[in-house]
Chain A
Amino acid sequence: MPANAETLVRAENLKVHFPIYSGIFRRQVGSVKAVDGLNFEIKRGETLGLVGESGCGKSTAGRAMLRLYELTDGRIDFEGVDIAGLNKGDLRDIRPRMQMIFQDPQACLNPRMTVGDIIAEPLIEHTKMSSKEQREKVKSLLESVGMNPDFVNRYPHEFSGGQRQRIGIARALALEPDFIVCDEPIAALDVSIQAQVVNLLQDIQERMGLTYLFISHDLSMVRHIADRVAVMYLGRIVELAPKEQLYKDPKHPYTKALLSAVPVPDPEVEKTREHIVLQGDVPSPANPPKGCRFSTRCPVAKDKCFVDDPEWRKIGDGGFVACHYAE
């Protein structure tokens, strides 16, 4: 990543709430606050890792960035354009610049279409290529993700998980986007294939100057691919910092607990090192605790944490944290 590069995407107070309807009149009785006030920016050519446990709103945040979900509140600034406020036509024009790579390689390709048709779909929508040009483009895309271009007439069920993921990547690259949201692209793959796909993503990033929002729950993989890492808990980002800083010196108690759960590949160290085991379960996002979101499970919570919501403040060198007592 180039130093002091310009900001490509900025999320301001991003909120996605899903309404809960109940009763015979289907009245709204509350909402699941899946994403509740995210602030972050991603620089051009950078990879921002977004980590957190299941159900903390990572995927929702990623989809909201592409406006696959309507925002409840907030702004998404994409090169000075507020995506959240765009109407359908303008949104469609900007869609080619941001794409998504999905988690489940089984479900992300239409089983009734050939690989060629799947990858060509965005081309049909946004370019005026003849079908022959499309064919050529699809073949070159397949080649660029390391697959045999003669596979264009095959169907998704004839490929392995890793190959399907490559097809999904080729589709995302078809319109030469600037920004790609990777929604746990490696979670459903074997470990050996994970490395291949991650390396492919890095190669492509270098070649095409892409910007990634890399969503994952695999902390070691994020450490490998990301430049900066954001840690989410219950719909909020609790800490965001450059990766060396975050992994070496986590500020937020949740980040500390999360990192202590990553196994160390040395039995001697593993035996002696400290594990922070959090008590209790994640509270319901429909009814988050007062004060700090993490207060109910925080090992170092004090009275203030149960009353006041900690502000999102700068800490260290380029880091941010949402905790009253982090320093």
Chain B
Amino acid sequence: MKVSLFIPCFIDQFYPQVGISIVQILERLGCEVDYPEGQTCCGQPPFNSGCWDEARSIAEHSLDVFAESEVIVSASGSCGAMMKVFYPELFKGTTRHFDALKLSQKIHEFSDFLVNHLGVRDVGARFDGTATFHDGCHGLRELGIESQPRELLKHVRGLTVVEMKEAKTCCGFGGTFAVKFPSISTAMGEVKCASLLETGANIVVSNDSSCLMQIQGLLDRQGKKIQCLHLAEILART
């Protein structure tokens, strides 16, 4: 199967290892991986700030970049949700609405793609440690991804997975919300950190690097020796 990767801008710049891991896993599973060049941002920052015209101009660029792709795998649940759920709304009543609907059907979040489209649960990974999974809200509630990453983690050799009480509670990132309302965002992050610390896990796994940026940022500041890793970084280890 030929698969196009969507590596959102902040993963490209800050967490390239996530993208590299996804390439390794998909190739190991026999996919032909393609990275349409010229991809940048999904447009979520202006979209969430109410600047829909600016968001639309970025989104149009994405529609062009991925026009030839047959299947797209997103490294982020949040940016994936932007394309899958919000692009059709953003382009409603414009000449690109149909293109947005087409893109929406083609794009899948990484863990959902592995489990529901490739039918894989065991990718042959090995990772020693104790992990707890954090659900990114967009992946969980916009895309309905809940069991997929947990299924994949269950099959990682050497890994113990402990569920945290507040797994489905927002980490407080929320894009520009994190800097527009820093005290609220931090308080929400503190609740998340307290819950994950309770599990005794030494690794926090998520399918969204943006949440992990928030969680790791707080844990580092608290001096906690806990590592945040994207699901793909766990699954790529053998």
Q: Do A and B come together as binding partners?
A: no
